[in-house]
């Protein structure tokens, strides 16, 4: 059996085309033609969600928002006719992993799905490696070029949050809300200070990349 994907697309012709394309590529798609809430427990039965935005029933971005607020990390690829930059940024800020606009080539969609699925397989491992950086999520140990790096609790949680979604952009708002103590230091400005300190401790190389207008992501430690 192929990997299970959830397709949420109300256009019957396009939905059938996408579903058939995914099946021929070896996936096992489930197709919803209306929008409705997707509880994290149900989302966890899928490896990836392909999400249209303008749906009958629950709006696509509301599905995405509730999914992330429920702490689901299932990858979400937004597939929409809305091609405004503001829509793309909003979707990425809400936690989308990718955004494709219609019309599109089915071959590109399949390859984007495959690219997204390769990353979560690495993230589920305890040890995340990105270039010279190693992050052990279970033992909370960090090494660069094999040498241990001492981090504070907040610094490690920040790095771990990025490592668990390796390659994906994580918004400053999400990081501030989920990593920092909201009663003491829960602002995005404070988050930036912790990122700056973390970068210095990790040393040269772009281990933490800035995604302008959105937030941060784990890099491969390439030269800045």
Q: pLDDT of 137-175, one tens digit each?
A: 888 999 999 999 999 999 999 999 898 877 778 888 888
Total domains, the chain: 2
What is residue 72's predicted lDDT score, i.e. its pLDDT? 79
Query: Which of 75, 104, 119 delimits the end of a domain?
Result: 119
* Residues 51 and 77: beta-carbon distance below 8 Å: yes
Which residue range is the domain that position 164 belongs to? 123-221
| Listed residues 78, 104, 119: the one ending a domain | 119
CB-based contact 214:171 (threshold 8 Å): yes
Clarify whether residues 102 and 26 are in a common domain.
yes
Q: Identify which of 84, 97, 216 has the alpha carbon closest to the alpha carbon of residue 159.
A: 216
CATH number at residue 48: 3.40.50.2300
**What pLDDT score does 116 carry?**
82
- Same domain for 98 and 162, yes or no, is no
What pLDDT does 126 receive?
80
Tens-digit pLDDT string for the chain (224 aa): 678 999 999 999 999 999 999 999 999 999 999 999 998 888 888 989 999 999 999 999 999 988 887 767 788 999 999 888 888 888 888 888 889 998 888 889 999 998 888 765 545 568 888 888 999 988 899 999 999 999 999 999 999 989 887 777 888 888 888 788 766 667 888 999 999 999 999 998 789 999 888 889 998 766 65
Exposure string for 201-222, b = 16+ CB within 10 A, e = fewer? ebeebbbbbbeeebbbbbbebe
Choose one of 88, 119, 150: the last residue of a domain. Answer: 119
pTM for the complete prediction? 0.59
Q: What does the pLDDT read at residue 90? A: 86
Same domain for 19 and 43: yes
Instruction: Verify that 64 and 149 share a domain, yes or no.
Output: no
* 135/41 same-domain check: no
Pair 111, 132 in one domain = no
CA angle 27, 42, 218 (to 5 degrees): 70
Query: Of 10, 153, 130, which Cα lies nearest the Cα of 18?
Result: 10
194 in the same domain as 135? yes
Burial (CB count within 10 angstroms: exposed 0-12, middle 13-18, buried 19+), residue 77 = buried
103 and 17 within one domain: yes
Determine the pLDDT at residue 122. Answer: 47
Do 10 and 110 belong together in one domain?
A: yes
DSSP characters for the chain? ---EEEEE---HHHHHHHHHHHHHTT-EEEEESSB----HHHHTT-SEEEE-SS-SBS-HHHHHHHHHHTT----EEEEES---HHHHHHHHHHT-SEEEESS--HHHHHHHHHHHHHHHHHHTSSEEEETTEEEETTTTEEEETTEE----HHHHHHHHHHHHTTTS-EEHHHHHHHHS-TTTS-SHHHHHHHHHHHHHHH-SS-SEEEETTTEEEE------
**99 and 174 co-located in one domain:** no
Q: CATH code at 205?
A: 1.10.10.10
Whole-angstrom distance, CA of residue 90 vs CA of residue 11: 23
What is the model's pLDDT at position 223? Answer: 60
Residues 115, 21 within the same domain: yes
Shared-domain flag, residues 114 and 132 = no
């Amino acid at each position: 059996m192929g990997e299970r994907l959830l397709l949420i697309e109300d256009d019957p012709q396009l939905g059938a085309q996408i579903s058939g394309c995914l099946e021929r590529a070896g996936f096992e798609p489930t197709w919803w033609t209306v929008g409705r809430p997707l509880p994290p427990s149900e989302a966890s039965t899928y490896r990836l969600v392909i999400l249209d935005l303008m749906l009958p029933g629950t709006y696509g971005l509301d599905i995405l928002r509730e999914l992330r607020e429920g702490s689901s990390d299932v990858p979400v690829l937004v597939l929409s006719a809305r091609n405004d930059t503001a829509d793309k940024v909003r979707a990425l800020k809400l936690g989308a992993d990718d955004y494709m606009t219609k019309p599109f080539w089915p071959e590109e969609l399949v390859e984007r799905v495959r690219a997204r699925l390769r990353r979560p397989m690495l993230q589920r491992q305890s040890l995340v490696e990105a270039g010279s950086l190693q992050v052990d999520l279970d033992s909370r140990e960090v090494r660069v070029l094999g040498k241990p790096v001492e981090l504070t609790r907040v610094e490690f949680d920040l790095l771990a949050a990025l490592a668990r979604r390796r390659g994906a952009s994580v918004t400053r708002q999400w990081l501030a809300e989920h990593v920092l103590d909201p009663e003491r230091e829960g602002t995005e400005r404070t988050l930036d200070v912790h990122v700056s300190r973390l970068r210095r401790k990790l040393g040269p190389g772009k281990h933490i990349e800035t995604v302008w207008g959105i937030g941060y992501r784990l890099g491969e430690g390439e030269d800045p």
